Amino acid sequence: MATTSVMGGSVRRREDPALIQGTGTYTDDLQPVGLLHVAFTRSPIAHGKITSLGTSEAKLMPGVIAVFTHDDVAHLGPLVAQVPIGKLRPLLAAGEVNHVGEAVAMVVAENRYQAQDAADAIDVDYDVLPAVIDLKQAASNEVKVHDELDSNILHTWTYHGYWEALGLEDQTPQVDAAMERDDAVVVTLEMTNQRLIPVAIEPRAVMSEYNKGYGTFTVHSSTQVPHALAGAIATNLGVAVSDVRVIALEVGGGFGCKLNVYNDEILVAWASRELGHPVKWTETRREASGSTIHGRGWIGTATLVGTKEGEFLGYKLDAIADMGAYTQNFTVAIPLLGLWIASGQYKMPVGWKVDCVVTHTMTTDAYRGAGRPEAIYYLERIIDAFAHEIGMDPFEVRKKNFWQPEEFPATMGCGFALDSGSYEAAVDELIRVSDYTGMRQRQEEARAEGRLVGIGVGSYVEVCGFGPAVLAEIGFSWSSYGLPASFNGSGQVRVNPDGTATVIIGTGPTGQGHETTWAQIVGDGLGIPVENIKVYHGDTRDHPMGVGTFGSRSIAVDGAATHGATQKIKEKAAKIAAHLLEASAEDIVFADGGAHVAGSPDKSVEWAAIAKSAYQAHTLPEGLESGLEAETTFSPGNATWPFGTHLALVEVDAETGDVELLEYHAVDDCGHVVNPMIVGGQVHGGIAQGIGQAMFEDAIYDEAGNMLTGSLLDYPLPTAADLPMFDLHRTVTPTDVNPMGVKGIGEAGTIGSAHTIVNAVVDALTPLGVKHIDMPVRPKRVWQAMQEARV
Partner 1 sequence: MDVSMTVNGNPVSGDVEPRTLLVHFIRENLHLTGTHVGCETGYCGACTVHLDGKPVKSCTVFAVQAEGATITTIEGLASNGELHPVQEGFWERHGLQCGYCTPGMIMSAAALLTENPNPSEDEIRHGIEGNLCRCTGYHNIVKAVEYAGARIRGEEPPAPDWEEAH
User: Is the bond preceding 394 in cis, omega lying within 30 degrees of 0?
Assistant: no
Nearer to partner 1, 110 or 170 (CB): 110
Provide, rounded to whole angstroms, the least separation between the CB of residue 535 and partner 1: 16
Provide, rounded to whole angstroms, the least separation between the CB of residue 273 and partner 1: 25
Which residue among 144, 285, 534, 541 contacts partner 1 (CB under 8 A)?
285
Q: Does 734 bind partner 1 (CB under 8 A)?
A: no
Nearer to partner 1, 415 or 676 (CB): 676
Provide, rounded to whole angstroms, the least separation between the CB of residue 685 and partner 1: 5
Cα gap 94→91, rounded to integer Å: 8
Which residue among 497, 676, 734, 779 contacts partner 1 (CB under 8 A)?
676
Nearer to partner 1, 143 or 723 (CB): 723
Q: Determine the interface stretch with partner 1 among 439-447, 507-515, 591-599, 611-619 (rule: CB under 8 A).
A: 507-515
Provide, rounded to whole angstroms, the least separation between the CB of residue 374 and partner 1: 20
Please report the beta strands in 386-451, taking only residues with DSSP state E, as ranges in sequence order: 410-411, 417-418
Nearer to partner 1, 282 or 566 (CB): 282
Provide, rounded to whole angstroms, the least separation between the CB of residue 24 and partner 1: 5
Show the 3-state SS of 172-226: HHHHHHHHCCCCCEEEEEEEEECCECCCCCCCCEEEEEEECCCCEEEEEECCCCH
Which residue among 295, 681, 705, 776 contacts partner 1 (CB under 8 A)?
681
Q: Is 105 helix (H, G, I), strand (E, B) or coil?
A: strand
Provide, rounded to whole angstroms, the least separation between the CB of residue 746 and partner 1: 10
Nearer to partner 1, 55 or 520 (CB): 520
Strand order in the sheet with 659-669: 452-461, 643-652, 659-669, 726-730
Provide, rounded to whole angstroms, the least separation between the CB of residue 681 and partner 1: 5
Nearer to partner 1, 21 or 52 (CB): 21
Nearer to partner 1, 198 or 468 (CB): 198
- Residue 529: CB partners within 8 Å, gap ≥ 6? 523, 593
Nearer to partner 1, 10 or 619 (CB): 10
Nearer to partner 1, 334 or 691 (CB): 691
Provide, rounded to whole angstroms, the least separation between the CB of residue 514 and partner 1: 11
Q: Does 21 bind partner 1 (CB under 8 A)?
A: yes
Which residue among 2, 165, 448, 725 contacts partner 1 (CB under 8 A)?
725
Residue pair 112/39 in contact by the 8 Å Cβ criterion: yes
Buried b (16+ CB within 10 A) or exposed e, 562-580: bbbbbeebbebbbbbbbbb
Q: Does 658 bind partner 1 (CB under 8 A)?
A: no
Cα gap 713→135, rounded to integer Å: 26
CA distances from 414 to 164, 168, 350, 542 (A): 11, 7, 9, 38
Q: Interface mask (CB under 8 A) for partner 1, residues 82-111, using x and -?
A: ------------------------------
Provide, rounded to whole angstroms, the least separation between the CB of residue 25 and partner 1: 7
Q: Interface mask (CB under 8 A) for partner 1, residues 249-268, using x and -?
A: -xxxx-x-------------
Provide, rounded to whole angstroms, the least separation between the CB of residue 606 and partner 1: 21
Provide, rounded to whole angstroms, the least separation between the CB of residue 199 and partner 1: 6
Provide, rounded to whole angstroms, the least separation between the CB of residue 595 and partner 1: 22
For residue 179, how many C-alpha atoms fall within 13 Å in the half-sphere facing its CB?
17
Q: Does 736 bind partner 1 (CB under 8 A)?
A: no
Our CA angle for 588, 592, 595, nearest 5°, is 20
Q: Does 689 bind partner 1 (CB under 8 A)?
A: yes
Indicate the residue type of 729: H
Q: Does 492 bind partner 1 (CB under 8 A)?
A: no
Nearer to partner 1, 688 or 742 (CB): 688
Which residue among 69, 492, 510, 632 contacts partner 1 (CB under 8 A)?
510
Residue pair 686/368 in contact by the 8 Å Cβ criterion: yes
Provide, rounded to whole angstroms, the least separation between the CB of residue 696 and partner 1: 12
Q: Determine the interface stretch with partner 1 among 167-175, 506-514, 598-606, 630-638 (rule: CB under 8 A).
A: 506-514
Give me the phi and psi of 51, to 5 degrees please: -95, -25
Q: Determine the interface stretch with partner 1 among 139-147, 279-287, 468-476, 617-625 (rule: CB under 8 A).
A: 279-287
Which secondary structure element, helix H or strand E, spans residue 433, and what is its range?
Answer: helix 423-433
Residue pair 754/459 in contact by the 8 Å Cβ criterion: no
Residue pair 416/340 in contact by the 8 Å Cβ criterion: yes
Residue pair 145/359 in contact by the 8 Å Cβ criterion: yes
Q: Does 33 bind partner 1 (CB under 8 A)?
A: no
Q: Determine the interface stretch with partner 1 among 47-55, 342-350, 445-453, 511-519 (rule: CB under 8 A).
A: 511-519
Indicate the residue type of 439: M
Residue pair 700/197 in contact by the 8 Å Cβ criterion: no
Q: Does 199 bind partner 1 (CB under 8 A)?
A: yes
Give me the phi and psi of 457, to 5 degrees please: -115, 140
- The residues in 415-444 that bind partner 1, with binding defined as CB under 8 A, are none
Indicate the residue type of 709: T
Nearer to partner 1, 24 or 627 (CB): 24
Residue pair 770/789 in contact by the 8 Å Cβ criterion: yes
Nearer to partner 1, 55 or 282 (CB): 282
Indicate the residue type of 618: H
Provide, rounded to whole angstroms, the least separation between the CB of residue 482 and partner 1: 29
Q: Does 678 bind partner 1 (CB under 8 A)?
A: yes
- Which residues is 38 bridged to in the sheet? 108
Provide, rounded to whole angstroms, the least separation between the CB of residue 20 and partner 1: 4
Q: Does 275 bind partner 1 (CB under 8 A)?
A: no
Q: Determine the interface stretch with partner 1 among 245-253, 375-383, 451-459, 487-495 (rule: CB under 8 A).
A: 245-253
Our CA angle for 205, 210, 215, nearest 5°, is 140
Q: Does 677 bind partner 1 (CB under 8 A)?
A: yes
Compute how many residues bind partner 1; rule: CB under 8 A. 65
Closest alpha carbon to 295 in 205, 223, 374, 203 = 374
Q: Does 570 bind partner 1 (CB under 8 A)?
A: no
- Residue 177: CB partners within 8 Å, gap ≥ 6? none
Could you tell me whether strands 36-42 and 279-282 are parallel, antiparallel, or unpaired per DSSP bridges?
Answer: parallel
Show the 3-state SS of 522-590: HHHHHCCCHHHEEEEECECCCCCCCCCCCCCCHHHHHHHHHHHHHHHHHHHHHHHHHHHHCCCHHHEEE
Provide, rounded to whole angstroms, the least separation between the CB of residue 699 and partner 1: 15
Nearer to partner 1, 711 or 787 (CB): 711
Q: Interface mask (CB under 8 A) for partner 1, residues 111-150, using x and -?
A: -xx-------------------------------------
Q: Does 512 bind partner 1 (CB under 8 A)?
A: yes
Cα gap 667→89, rounded to integer Å: 42
Q: Is 497 helix (H, G, I), strand (E, B) or coil?
A: coil
Residue pair 395/667 in contact by the 8 Å Cβ criterion: no
> What residue ranges bind partner 1 (CB under 8 A)?
4, 6, 8-13, 15-26, 28-29, 31, 112-113, 199-203, 250-253, 255, 282, 284-286, 510-513, 676-678, 680-681, 684-689, 711-713, 717, 719-723, 725-726
